[in-house]
Amino acid sequence: GAVVSQHPSWVICKSGTSVKIECRSLDFQATTMFWYRQFPKQSLMLMATSNEGSKATYEQGVEKDKFLINHASLTLSTLTVTSAHPEDSSFYICSARDTSGGWETQYFGPGTRLLVL
Amino acid sequence: SQQGEEDPQALSIQEGENATMNCSYKTSINNLQWYRQNSGRGLVHLILIRSNEREKHSGRLRVTLDTSKKSSSLLITASRAADTASYFCATDPEAAGNKLTFGGGTRVLVKP
pLDDT in tens, B45-84: 999 999 999 999 999 999 999 999 999 999 999 999 999 9
Between positions 19 and 58 of B, the ones with CB within 8 A of A are 30-31, 33, 35, 40-45, 48, 50
Min Cα distance A76 → chain B (Å) is 18
Using the predicted structure, report yes or no on whether residue A76 has a pLDDT greater than 90: yes
Share of chain A above pLDDT 90, in %: 69
Min Cα distance B103 → chain A (Å) is 7
Looking only at the bridges linking them, the beta strands covering B10-14 and B106-111 are parallel
Is the CB of B99 less than 8 angstroms away from the CB of A95? Answer: no
Q: Is B81 helix (H, G, I), strand (E, B) or coil?
A: helix
Using the predicted structure, report yes or no on whether residue B40 has a pLDDT greater than 70: yes
Using the predicted structure, report yes or no on whether residue A89 has a pLDDT greater than 90: yes
Q: Are A94 and A6 in contact (CB under 8 A)?
A: yes
Position A107 scores a pLDDT of: 87
